[in-house]
Amino acid sequence: MKEWQKFLIYAGVFLAAYFVPFNNPRIQAALLESFQMLGEYAREHVLFCLVPAFFIAGAIAVFISQDAVLKYFGSGAKKWLSYSVASVCGAVLAVCSCTVLPLFAGLYTRGAGIGPSAAFLYSGPAINVLAIILTARVLGWQFGVARAVGAVVFAVVIGLMMSFIYGKDDAQGEAELVTGDNGRERRSGWQNLVYFVTLVLILVFAAWARPQTSEGFWYVVYRMHWPLTVILLLVLAYMLVRWFTGEEVKEWVDTSWDFAQRILPLLFAGVLAAGFLMGRPGTDAGLIPSAWIASFVGGNTLTANLIASVAGAFMYFATLTEVPILQGLLGSGMGKGPALALLLAGPALSLPNMLVIRSVMGTKKTLTYVALVIVMATTSGLIYGNIVL
């Protein structure tokens, strides 16, 4: 960090300490809310979502050949293959906008192009089968279909636009990479496949959210998710003992820890900031009253859709929580167009998410990515609101 950046941080902390009216009840409530949100985040997401995601990111960086990443996700890869895989991965990964970050960082730093990486970054939290089914059941089939179609289209279009804008950077970066790192072939292809599938399934089942109803297939899976997670952990332990050397395991753990050190501080800072500004989802204890937002998102105007997209982009939604929150907002007079805009922008973005993305791919690319999500969500909301009255 440069000296002038350190100075700005010190000056900002000093000015906040000097001028913020900490005796104001709203400020006190917002401060308490930020730490309560951080507590909820730590209890519900770190151990069972982020930790498995860090280990998957470490495995991608250590055990996947850079040649293979460039072949399937580099700038010269077949677009139909790389974008189709990246845009539907959310059907498997039931993750939130923060849990997807280590996976994105592992893929991007390993040499994947900005386009497929951005498509993966959006689709991971957006194309969640359980969330889409819940959306259709609670909010109506029109919302469910619009969310599913919109999420897939968004992932592909955002990826293609990022590639179009920054494709030259990809080509220059790939030219500087030292490829040919195929020295990790002591395992067969099927062994590597089983290893990565096991890691992904551990993430899926450990993070499985409780459905709203106590019946049906999804609830049966929820009842079984811990036994299944334990079985998968035992399978992973067997593979690590039989298929990997001690040096490989150490490198995997060290790389996973490196991802954690880079990402966790920014995530925690972002969660605190999001909690202070907007409060936990479903509460009204943040600095910005939820009534202010609700009052601006009625009808189907451009302003209403834009406000819904921007608010959704900065708020943090845990997996599946966006549906009941949106149900309450619709009951308070929110328009259907802005509701879809929030659904398409909210789960895929958040303030903590933006801070980490910036640390991975830089300020300019992050701002472009966020702007694309907001613009597309706003446009989709306008179209949907005019179709479904």
Q: Is residue 272 part of a domain?
A: yes
Please write the tens of the pLDDT for every residue from 32-73: 888 988 888 788 778 888 888 889 888 887 887 767 776 777
The domain tally of the chain equals 1
pLDDT for position 183? 43
Radius of gyration of the chain (CA): 21
Q: Is residue 27 part of a domain?
A: no
Q: Is residue 373 part of a domain?
A: yes
Q: Is residue 95 part of a domain?
A: yes
Q: Is residue 14 part of a domain?
A: no
The answer to whether 357 and 272 have CB atoms below 8 angstroms apart is no
Q: Could you tell me the residue range of the domain that residue 83 belongs to?
A: 36-387
Q: Is residue 28 part of a domain?
A: no
Instruction: Report whether pLDDT(29) > 80.
Output: yes
Q: Is residue 381 part of a domain?
A: yes
Please write the tens of the pLDDT for every residue from 159-212: 889 988 887 766 555 555 544 454 445 677 788 889 988 998 888 888 787 776
Mean pLDDT across the stretch 340-345? Answer: 89
For residue 321, give both structure tokens: 């929580």
Q: Is residue 123 part of a domain?
A: yes
